[in-house]
Amino acid sequence: MEKLEVLRKVFGYDTFREGQEQIVDAILHGQDVLGIMPTGAGKSICYQLPALMLEGITIVVSPLISLMIDQVKALNEAGIHAAYINSALTETQITKALYNAMCGRYKIVYVAPERLETDRFLEFVMNVDIAMITVDEAHCISQWGQDFRPSYLKIVNLIKRFPKRPIVSAFTATATQTVKDDILCILGLNNPKVLVTGFDRQNLYFEVRKTKHKDEEILEYLAKHEGESGIIYCATRKNVDNVYLMLKKNGIAATRYHAGLDNEMRKNNQEDFIYDRALVIVATNAFGMGIDKSNVRFVLHYNMPQCIENYYQEAGRAGRDGEPAECILFYSAQDVMINEFLIGNKGQNTEFTQEELEVIKENDIRRLNKMRFYCATKECLREYMLNYFGEYTYRHDCGNCGNCTGEFEEKNVTDICVDIIECIRESGQRYGMNVIIGILRGSNTAKLKSYGVSRYKSFGKRSKMSEAMLKSVMEELLLKEYLTETADIYRIIKLDKTSQDIIDGSTELVCKWSEKKEEVRETQAKVKKSGAAAELTPKQFAVFGELKKLRLTIAREENMPPYIIFSDKTLVDMCIKLPFTKTEMLAVNGVGENKYERYGERFIQCIVDCTDAVR
């Protein structure tokens, strides 16, 4: 079969998405690849499809068990024989799986990195024809990444052992330049095709809400989005438990997930969410890797995450089906402290040396600061994140984030900036933001008194200005790099070379100011409300409801998550095309031969029934 035929027949898609075809072609020509694509862009097809066409077996190294199980389930569902080797299996099961693989029964074998150097696995790979080694979540190999896993280094040894080197393909959703260089270098990719596809997820709406009343805001949000599936991320287990109980008390069918719950419970809760028995899940960042539930309509953050990498990955779990979805971060200043605390306690009993820990911590703080600025910026949120990942759009207005759609007043704040800079200079560049603000406002706290700051000329110079306003201007100065901060928890504010430009009057600073208008937000939320189904006419929407019921019935019969049977997007396409025949059904986005064989007729029957045979 030729590649497009495989795409159509096996996976049920008519066309490749951006980047997929180039990667597939490179692999089929025997070239190594590094694919950097955002979550939901469709990385799996990039290696699964060539794996089917190459002679020999493809080994996929993947960090998380849940991820593997899900992928293997989906592959088997599409009629592709695949297996996984990880600690979820007993030794006997592993023996059996490897035996089957040795007999050529699987085209794709997923394996956990810890397993790579076991004798049994080595014996297996040396005795069969390995066409390709695929490294999923490849950023785990880099110490500079946000998720370093030493066991990933075992991959390098494995690759070296082969008499005939297989193709090596690596994939990740988050990679800054340093991490990218690390992946290329450590894995030793050989003249690779490197493809970075747009990180932009246009269907996602981003917003930051600064609030002290998170619970109320979350409840209000959920009330407006009833019937939709979503994730609420919290920074700590305790927060998860509190938010979860708060939702329960308010009659919301929520579940929760964090590392403090026992395995059984975690598994059940996760399944409740995936199978749509609980629409909302409250979770720490332990949740989500490998969950490719496609109909997640919102991802809310109850706390600010530790870095943009994490945020973009977690938020990216919304709208995998390509339909509109919302990512809203509820921010309060306390979130910064929680994260500093978490960073401070990180890796206390790991294999790192003290020195290494210091470096890691410094990097963590630097990343945290970038995250803070995301919450502070008044410019386009999407652009901010894309810039962070090295992608420059120069568009400045995406039309689909809180800052681009919100209403702001522009205000020239140069004179305030001058006072701030003078204050920092005068007090010797040795204080953090709160002290500087305290001096400018002439606060009479015991702490400030003990510093003896009332002798400065700046003391009380902005006594009428609100703390929030001063903070906002200072954040703007930091963002635009007229000021810098030390990369430790004290975050002492220092002047930069460019600070003088403001004092000299050669640069003016304009700040966006004022609150967003409430009604604007509301109407937007309404338009976006039902995701994939939003464009359906009322009649089509009724069919959609029936198809969803059928999908749920089948899901229960087969003990499969509904979205693995068919995604919302596929059901919506059915409602639009109303297929009555096999050919028509195969023309629906997401219906391949195998899925047709298994479910096609039941769905056609359902469509016939509920449309009374009129089209």
DSSP state of 401: B
How far apart (Å, rounded) are the C-alpha atoms in residues 453 and 447?
Answer: 10
- Outline where 379-492 has alpha helix (H): 381-388, 402-405, 414-426, 433-441, 446-451, 467-479
Q: CA–CA separation, 18 vs 98, rounded Å?
A: 35
Q: How far is the CB of 385 from Zn ion (least distance, A)?
A: 10
Residue 382 binds: one of ligand ADP, Zn ion, none (C-beta under 5 to 8 A by kind): Zn ion
Q: Which of residues 345-404 bind Zn ion (CB under 5 A)?
A: 380, 382, 398, 401, 404
Query: Would you count residue 372 as binding ligand ADP (CB under 6 A)?
Result: no
> How long is the chain?
615
Please choose, out of 43-51, 263-271, 434-442, 515-523, the segment that lies near ligand ADP by the rule CB under 6 A: 43-51
Give residue 393's identity as a one-letter amino acid code. T
Closer to Zn ion by Cβ: residue 207 or 292: 207
Which is closer to ligand ADP, CB of 391 or CB of 422? 391
Site mask for Zn ion (CB under 5 A), range 545-574, x = bound: ------------------------------
Q: How far is the CB of 45 from ligand ADP (least distance, A)?
A: 4
Give the per-residue contact string, 484-523, with ligand ADP (x = CB under 6 A; - = no).
Answer: ----------------------------------------
Verify binding: residue 458, ligand ADP, rule CB under 6 A.
Answer: no
C-alpha to C-alpha distance for 489 and 226, rounded to whole angstroms: 40
In the complex with Zn ion, the residue whose CB is nearer, 405 or 553, is 405
Q: Closest Cα to residue 8, out of 45, 56, 51?
A: 45
Binding string to Zn ion for residues 20 to 59, with x set by CB under 5 A, is what?
Answer: ----------------------------------------
Residue 40 sits in the site that holds ligand ADP (CB under 6 A): yes
Contact pattern from residue 8 through residue 37 relative to ligand ADP, giving x for each residue in contact according to CB under 6 A and a dash for the rest: -----x--xx--x----------------x
Q: 39 touches which of ligand ADP, Zn ion, none (CB within 5 to 8 A by kind)? A: ligand ADP
Tokens representing 175 are 């990679």
For Zn ion, give the closer residue by CB, 276 or 397. Answer: 397
Residues 487-526 as x/- pattern, contact with Zn ion by CB under 5 A: ----------------------------------------
For helices 414-426 and 433-441, the axis angle rounded to 10 degrees is: 110
Distance from chain centroid for Cα 54: 31
Q: Where are the beta strands (DSSP E) in 421-543?
A: 483-485, 493-495, 510-513
- Compare residues 14 and 481 and give the one whose CB is closer to ligand ADP: 14
Instruction: Report the residue from 39, 197, 239, 270 that binds ligand ADP according to the rule CB under 6 A.
Output: 39
The binder of 561, among ligand ADP, Zn ion, none, by C-beta within 5 to 8 A per type, is none
**CA-based torsion, 272, 274, 276, 281: positive or negative:** positive
Q: How far is the CB of 168 from Zn ion (least distance, A)?
A: 37
The whole-angstrom separation of Cα 1 and Cα 197 is 27
Q: Please list, in sequence order, all residues whose beta carbon lies within 8 angstroms of the beta carbon of residue 605, skipping any fewer than 6 positions away.
A: none
Grouping H, G, I as helix, E, B as strand and the rest as coil, residue 518 is: helix
Task: Decide if residue 230 touches ligand ADP (CB under 6 A).
Answer: no
Give min distance, CB of 389 to Zn ion, in A: 15
Alpha-helix residue ranges (DSSP H) falling in 167-228: 177-187, 214-224
Give the H/E segment covering residue 392: none
Using CB atoms within 10 Å of the CB of residue 517, give its burial: 0 to 12 exposed, 13 to 18 middle, 19+ buried: exposed
**How many residues lie near ligand ADP (CB under 6 A)?**
16
Q: Which of residues 178-217 bind ligand ADP (CB under 6 A)?
A: none
Q: How far is CA 358 from the centre of its chain?
A: 27
Of 567, 571, 573, 610, the residue at the interface with ligand ADP (CB under 6 A) is: 567
Q: In angstroms, what is the minimal distance from the CB of 7 to ligand ADP?
A: 7
- Among residues 201, 320, 491, 551, the one that binds ligand ADP under rule CB under 6 A: 320
- Please write down the HEC assignment for all residues of 284-334: CCCCCCCCCCCCEEEEEECCCCCCHHHHHHHHCCCCCCCCCEEEEEEECCH
Number of residues that bind Zn ion (CB under 5 A): 5
CB of 228 to ligand ADP, least distance (A): 18
Q: Which residues of 464-501 are buried (b: 16+ CB within 10 A; e: fewer)?
A: eeeeebbbbbbbbbbbbebbbbebeeebbbeeeeebee
Is 294 a binder of ligand ADP (CB under 6 A)?
yes
43 contact choice in ligand ADP, Zn ion, none (CB below 5 to 8 Å, kind-dependent):
ligand ADP
How far the first Cα of the chain sits from its last, in Å, is 35
45 binds ligand ADP (CB under 6 A): yes
**Interface residue with ligand ADP, options 10, 36, 41, 296 (CB under 6 A):** 41
One of 42, 63, 531, 592 touching ligand ADP (CB under 6 A): 42
Q: Does 273 bind ligand ADP (CB under 6 A)?
A: no
Are the C-beta atoms of residues 207 and 327 closer than 8 Å to each other? yes
SS3 annotation, 2-41: CHHHHHHHHHCCCCCCCCHHHHHHHHHCCCCEEEECCCCC
* Candidate list 8, 43, 297, 491; residue touching ligand ADP; CB under 6 A: 43
Question: What is the nearest approach in angstroms of ligand ADP to the Cβ of residue 281?
Answer: 18
Which residues contact ligand ADP by CB under 6 A?
Answer: 13, 16-17, 20, 37, 39-45, 292, 294, 320, 567
Which residues contact Zn ion by CB under 5 A?
Answer: 380, 382, 398, 401, 404
